[in-house]
Amino acid sequence: MTILPITLTDYLILSGALFSIGVFGVLTRKNAIAVLMGVELMLNAANINLVAFSKFTGPGVDGQVFALFSIVIAAAEVAVALAIVISIYRVTRTIDLDKEDTLKG
């Protein structure tokens, strides 16, 4: 058995799979924090793409820089999201997304 060299496509498929798992997570999890973890998976998938393209195509490190920024922003986003989750938890004593449905129609 020979091991085929790893190409760009392999990285892309890895990222696609990770992204889809993230999609599954954000759509099906009931717990708000679990949903946020799903988002992190999706963002990581995109970052893999960026770094892989940066490696295999074109000059420069643009993709890596983008990934770097994306990591930083994800951190900020998570901080804000958790702040919101905690503040809603104080009001309703739950972070169950199924209970957050008073606004509808």
Partner 1 sequence: MMQTDLTRSLLLIAPELIVALAALVALTGAMLMKRSRGREAFYIGIMGMLGAIAATVILYERLTLSTAFHGMIAIDPFGLFFRLIAYVSILYVLLMTMCSREMKDTQGKWELVAILSGFGIGMSMMASSTNLLMIYLSMELLSVMSYLLVSYRRGARRSKEAGLKYIIYGSIASAFMLYGMSMLYGIAHSLGLSAILTAFMDHSYSHITVYVATLFVLAGFGFKIVMVPMHMWAPDVYEGAPTPITTLLAVASKAAGFAVVLRFFYTAYISAVSMTNYYVNVSPVRWLLLIAVIAAFTMTIGNIVAIPQNNIKRMLAYSSIAHAGYMLIGLSVISKEAVSAILLYLTVYFFMNLGAFFIVMIVDNSLYSEDIDRYSGLSRMSPGLSAAMTVFLFSLTGIPPFAGFIGKVVVFIAAIDKGLYWLVIVAVINTVVSLYYYARVIKKMYLETPPEGVRPIKVGVLPALIIISLLVPTILFGIWWAPLQSFAHFSSFMY
Partner 2 sequence: MYPFIEQYVWLVPLLPLLGAAVNLLAGSRLPRHAVSTIAVGSISASFVLTVIAYLHIVSLPADHRQFIDTAYTWIGLGGFKVGLSFLVDPLSVVMGMIVSGVSSVIHLYSVGYMHDDRRYSRYFGFLNLFAFAMLLLVLSDSILLMFVGWEGVGLCSYLLIGFWFEKIENARAGMKAFVVNRIGDFGFIVGFLLLFTAIGIRTGTWSLDFGAIQSAVGLVPTAVLTTVGIMLFVGATGKSAQIPLYVWLPDAMAGPTPVSALIHAATMVTAGVYMVARMNFLYALAPDALRVIAIVGALTAFFAATIGLVQNDIKRVLAYSTVSQLGYMFIGVGVGAFSAGIFHLMTHAFFKALLFLGSGSVIHAMSGEQDIRKMGGLSKKLPITTATFVIASLAIMGVPGFAGFFSKDDILYNAYTSPYGGTFVWLLGVLAAVLTGFYMTRLVVLTFYGSSRMDPHTAEHVHESPKTMTIPLIVLAILSAIGGYIGMPEAFGVRNVFAGFLGPVFASGVRLPEGSVPLEWALMGVSVLAAFSGIGLAYYFYAVDTELPAALAEKYNTAFRPAYTGMYVDEFYSKYIVGGVMGLKDLLALFDSHIIDGAVNGTARLGRRLSDFEGAFDRIVVDGAVNAVGNGIVSAGGVLRRLQTGLVQNYLIFAIIGMAILLSFVLL
Partner 3 sequence: MSMDASAVHALFFYFFAAMTIVSALLVVLLRNIVRSAFSLFFTLFGVAGVYILLGADFVGVAQVLIYIGGVMILIVFGVMLTHNSYSVDMFNRLGTLVMGTVSAIVTFTIVYYSIRQVPWLLSGYKANVPTTQPIGVQLLTNYLLPFELASVLLVFAMVGAAYLIRSEVRPGKERAGGSERKDA
Instruction: State whether the Cα torsion 17-21-24-27 is positive or negative.
Output: negative
Q: Does residue 65 bind partner 1 (CB under 8 A)?
A: yes
DSSP 99: G
Q: CB of 37 within 8 A of CB of 75?
A: no
Q: How many residues bind partner 3 (CB under 8 A)?
A: 80
**Interacting residues toward partner 1 by CB under 8 A:** 19, 22, 26, 32, 35-36, 39, 42-43, 45-47, 49-50, 53-54, 57-60, 62-63, 65-66, 69-70, 73, 76-77, 80-81, 84-85, 87-88, 90-92, 97, 100, 102-105
